Amino acid sequence: MSLGGGKLNSMTNPEETLDGELDSANGATSSGAFELDQSTLVRLDEMTALLDGLSEQIGDVSIDLIRSAIEAGGGRPPADKILARARRSVDKASTLLTSIQP
């Protein structure tokens, strides 16, 4: 099953066909599964670890901010909402990188 010569629209991988075949030049098999070399896997692991560490650091700053606000008799600081959004984004990035590893 192919549309438009077997190519998907520009919002997806332009090398991917509708039946899951990819060009061998980009490292994929005919079933669409990518074969990542060891150096790429190591780099992905390193990036995931960095993102996980960054997420923890954002969480630590958030806890410190909330603790300071409580000690001062205030409520949740507006900056904490931004930190929470940033942490969720970093966590999503880490999850995405993990999902492409075999």
CA triple 80-83-86, angle to 5 deg: 155
pLDDT digits (tens, 9 = 90+) for 54-99: 999 999 999 999 999 999 999 999 999 999 999 999 999 999 999 9
Structurally, the chain folds into a number of domains equal to 2
Residues 8, 50 share a domain:
no
* pTM (predicted TM-score): 0.64
Residues 29 and 41 in one domain: no
Quote the domain boundaries for residue 2.
Answer: 1-35
Query: Do residues 85 and 98 both lie within one domain?
Result: yes
Beta bridge partners of 34: 28
Based on the fold, state whether residues 42 and 73 are members of the same structural domain. Answer: yes
Query: In whole angstroms, what is the distance from residue 17 CA to residue 5 CA?
Result: 8
The answer to whether residues 63 and 77 belong to one domain is yes
d(CA 102, CA 79): 37
> pLDDT tens digits for 31-61?
556 678 899 999 999 999 999 999 999 999 9
- 1 and 27 assigned to the same domain: yes
| Side chain identity at residue 53, one-letter code | G
